[in-house]
Structure 1
Amino acid sequence: MASSAAAPSTPTSKDTRPVFIYGTAWKKDQTVRLVKEALISGFRRIDTAAQPRHYQEHLVGQALRESYRSRLVKREDVYVQTKYTTPAGQDLDNMPYHPLDPLETQISTSVASSLKNLRHREESENDSFLDCLLLHSPLPTIEETLQAWEILETYVPGQINALGISNVTLPILQTIYENSKVKPSVVQNRFYPATSYDVALRAFCSEHGITYQSFWTLTGNPKLLKSNSVSVLAESARVNKAVALYALVANLGVEVLNGTTSAEHMEVDVAGVDAVRIWASGNEKKWAQITASFAKSIAI
């Protein structure tokens, strides 16, 4: 049996590790409202993409600028992450570059659009920057993927602070890591049984200081949501099962992509994870038992 990617740890009420990053896909014309509600609820990490088919990146930027102006948050307190999406993932009638452009032009045009959309000053793009930019997926060949990565490296550390990749397998991640000057800082993958919960890939991330972000954490795991460890934690910490699952996944060293469209759920999720941390700090033995049981259940 494979071991889990990161040893379970005991969080405390003073633990400041980020648990959530707010996902802005499929929010359409509600994007501004929902991003602002997420910030009000305590989210400080925002995920988007230069992919109009599923994301309204310009509306994410609008929500952020309005939040900066109202002093809800400062730019330095918010982590903003976007993606370059290849033509295969785009709506060819609505994309930030021409599908027949050479790769370098595709990327430079996409990055320019993201820097404009997510600028923190309405009147100026000159000092715009991104905390992280991900390849939305590997390109058709490893040679093209490495070429894309090399192009993105030219923006670091000037306009982009860090690079990452989504929808990636361990062999491709290892190849990028071994052949890059700017090492991957983020991996964003589905967290579900079909990939064996990325046990080996998460171990690689843990070993090399790469943040692993999960999506499909709830929708891809109906059995986990009903598992004994989730039920016991929910009852013990007096939180709902979704929050219990989030807390247990986060304890593996995972940052959870949370795209809820409910302001109530946003508040419940953030407050609930804090409640679990406080409960765990006073119930270390039971917490260790629950986390060990959960880690064993996904070591497949």
Structure 2
Amino acid sequence: MPNMIYGTAWKKENTAKLVETALLSGFKSIDTACQPKHYREDLVGLGLENAFNKGIKREDIFVQTKFTPISGQDINNMPYLSSDDIITQVEKSLLKSKENLKLDFIDSYLIHSPFNPIEDLVKVYRTMEEFVQNKEVGQLGISNCYDLKLFSYLYDIAKVKPKVLQNRFYAASNYDKDLREFCKQKNITYQSFWSLTANPNILASNEITSLVLKYGKTKEQIFYKFLKQIGITPLNGTTSKVHMLEDLDIDDFLLEENEIILIQNLL
């Protein structure tokens, strides 16, 4: 999995151009969802197609999308019917994602958020396991899950173990410290979103400012490097090509251990 993922939420009619620009700028991974309320997954597919036509190779790109339950959908614009049973919902959602993205294979497929009853959540995950067995999907995971007990339960019962946990990275969840430790132990990739937006105080801190001066990098580059070095794969949703190029340009320096600890103490 690449070290940074381009996030496509809320890009609306600009989605295709931004996806194409991100890939041509060096992003190797795209995150989306079959949730018309917040994503234009069809335009993600167009952006992918345009980038492939300009020389980007499909085998070099990691594509991740999600099944969104009814609770997260606009009831008037969903990839399935509200009357469909839960298994039909996830089957239709994957079919629609493949159609939108113009792909026969999805590298990573997530449940967009936990939902009740838990029996239905398990049914969805079991169906997703079949997608992996049928080679329609490469790996599985879940997003917006902040309950370690629930996530560890899902992990324990899974035949195809979850490989991704994607959560908002912010103070209200204590930065998922217990969940991130669980992920580390189980070789699960922890993906963060709102990494910058939710942490303006950290970006403006004296600790980050001093590292900006030392390394000659932006505060965003410093924070993304910190996340990378502690094992987090961040989503990046910038709409600026300049920022895309800057944010990816973090492989030419390493934060020292004491510097990592200084930033960790801010969490």
In which range does the TM-score fall when normalised by the shorter chain? over 0.9
Q: Distance in 2 between matches of 1:261 and 1:99?
A: 34
Decide whether the 8 Å contact of 1:185 with 1:209 is kept in 2: yes
Contact 1:142 1:172 in 2 (8 A): no
Q: Report what 2:130 is aligned to.
A: 154
Instruction: Say yes or no: does 1:182 pair with 2:160.
Output: yes
**Kept in 1: contact 2:6–2:27 (CA 8 A):** yes
Q: Tell me, what secondary structure is at the counterpart of 1:131?
A: strand
Listed one character per residue, the Cα deviations across residues 29-69 of structure 1 (whole Å, up to 9, x for unaligned) are: 11111001101111010000000011011111111112112
Unaligned runs of 5+ in 2: none
Cα distance in structure 1, aligned partners of 2:177 and 2:51: 38
- TM-score, normalization: structure 1? 0.86
More relative contact order in 1 or in 2 (CA 8 Å, sep 6+)? 1
Alignment of 1:1-300 (within 5 A): 18-71=2-55, 73-120=56-103, 128-157=104-133, 158-168=135-145, 169-271=147-249, 273-274=250-251, 278-280=252-254, 287-298=256-267
AA partner of residue 227 (structure 2): V
SS in 2 for 1:279: coil
Verify the 8 A CA contact 1:22 1:258 in the aligned structure 2.
yes
CA shift at 1:118, angstroms?
Answer: 1.4
Cα displacement (A) at 1:266:
0.6
Paired residue type of 2:206: N
Residue range with higher mean Cα deviation, 73-82 or 246-255: 246-255
Structure 1 residue ranges, 4+ long, deviating more than 6 angstroms after superposition: none
Cα pair 1:229 1:291 within 8 Å, conserved: no
- Provide Cα deviations, 1:135-170, integer angstroms capped at 9, x if missing partner: 000111322211110111111141001001001121
Counterparts of 1:52 and 1:131 in 2: how far apart (Å)?
A: 20
CA distance in 1, matches of 2:234, 2:3: 6
Q: How many residues align?
A: 265
Q: Deviations over 1:210-240 (max 9, x none)?
A: 0000011111111111223322221111111
Tell me the TM-score normalised to structure 2 length: 0.96
The Cα of 1:295 is off from its aligned counterpart by 2.0
| SS class of match (1:46) | strand
